[in-house]
Amino acid sequence: MDLLIQEIKKEVASGKLRLPRHIAIMLDGNGRWARRRGLPRTEGHRAGGENVSRIVRFCGLIGIQFLTLFGFSTENWQRPWEEVKNLLNLLEEYLITQREELRTNNVRLVSCGRIEEMPERIQTALRETQEATAHCTGLTLNLAINYGGRAEIVDAFRKAQQKIKAEELERDNFHMEEVRKLLYCPLLPFPELLIRTSGELRVSNFLLWEIDETYFWTTPTLWPDFSPSELKEALVDYSLSLPAGSQ
Ligand code: IPE
Ligand code: MG
């Protein structure tokens, strides 16, 4: 990984490679990864969690500023309850066991989604890790938890309604920029690159408002196998897609 990081840094310095500020990833294929090995789905989710740590660290080291990961969607509640419980347990475990690692790597954790609907123990683990990393100045890791793109837009409308009622916002002054301020993470730039693993070509209710100009990149690789060198391929394609001279 070290050689790869050096190579990327050199290419960025020479202007050959232009990095996005914000990468969003739909982690998909944990179940298939496990099935191909004759393992239970839980093992796929565990391997997927381990890969989250690897990719987060790598993104921080190459100088990405924001990384949004689709950890748990509003649709994931429809899965068999045993699997939902397993995903929630892994999420809690990640938030607790990675706290120190994130801090050491200067990664700040934030989140987006209907967090208030998550079990109390997840909310606590999330809050504590966010507080423990609030001072970090490297990569910002944004975990999408109980996140749905449509739910985000509905929630923005609800907030707008409340603001209009409280006379903090005039109905006639409600424009695009106003919507942006009411999204879950108003301070994050929109992602320039969206990656989906496991060959799916669907947007699946992820970041609907935020991806109007985003470059979409997919790979048949299943999430637990998605490596830093493959991420570099996505970065190269993204960089080549930019018009010459643009920022
Ligand atoms: C992604 O893998 C896991 C989550 C982020 C919830 P899947 O569980 O969707 O794996 P497949 O699609 O069944 O292979
Ligand atoms: Mg899937």
pLDDT digits over 193-233, tens only?
999 999 999 999 999 999 999 999 999 999 999 999 999 99
Hey, what are 125's tokens? 């683990």
Give the residues surrounding ligand 1 with Cβ less than 6 Å away: 27-32, 48, 76, 87, 198
Nearest CA to ligand 1 atom 13: 31
- Sheet harboring 140-147: ordered strands across? 108-112, 140-147, 66-73, 22-26, 193-196, 215-218
| Closest listed ligand to the CA of 83 | 1
Ligand 2 centroid, distance to 60 Cα (angstroms): 26
Query: Would you place residue 246 in the very low, low, confident or very high pLDDT band (cuts 50, 70, 90)?
Result: low
In a domain, 86, yes or no: yes
In the chain, % of residues over pLDDT 70: 99
Q: Which domain holds residue 112?
A: 2-7+20-147+190-199+206-236
Mutate to test the pocket of ligand 1, among 30, 73, 83, 219 (most ligand atoms within 8 A of CB): 30
Total domains present in the chain: 1
In a domain, 43, yes or no: yes
Q: What is the pLDDT of residue 101?
A: 97
In a domain, 171, yes or no: no
Q: Which of 191, 189, 188, 207 is nearest to 150 (CA)?
A: 207
CA distance 77 to 79: 5
174 has pLDDT over 90: no
Mean pLDDT of 80-102: 97
- Count CB atoms within 10 A of the CB of residue 40: 15
Q: What is the pLDDT of residue 8?
A: 98
Q: What is the pLDDT of residue 244?
A: 83
Q: What residues contact 164, with CB distance under 8 A and at least 6 apart?
A: 170, 171, 174
CA distance 160 to 169: 7
Helical pair 41-62 and 81-97, crossing angle rounded to 10 deg: 30
245 has pLDDT over 80: no
pLDDT tens for each residue of 25-47: 999 999 999 999 999 999 999 99
3-class SS of residue 170: coil
Ligand 1 centroid, distance to 44 Cα (angstroms): 8
Mean pLDDT of the chain: 96
In a domain, 141, yes or no: yes
| Closest listed ligand to the CA of 202 | 2
Mutate to test the pocket of ligand 1, among 26, 27, 28 (most ligand atoms within 8 A of CB): 28
Q: What is the pLDDT of residue 247?
A: 58
DSSP secondary-structure letter at 190? P
Helices (H) and strands (E) in the chain, counts: 9, 6
Hey, what are 172's tokens? 């006639």
Mean pLDDT of 61-85: 97
In a domain, 46, yes or no: yes
Q: What is the pLDDT of residue 173?
A: 83
* CB contact at 8 A, 121 and 94: no
Q: How far is CA 221 from CA 62, 227, 236, in A?
A: 22, 9, 17
Mean pLDDT of 130-148: 98
Q: What residues contact 88, with CB distance under 8 A and at least 6 apart?
A: 72, 118, 119, 122
* CB contact at 8 A, 28 and 200: yes
CATH of the domain at 48: 3.40.1180.10
Q: What is the pLDDT of residue 1?
A: 80
In a domain, 223, yes or no: yes
The set of catalytic residues is 28, 76
In a domain, 122, yes or no: yes
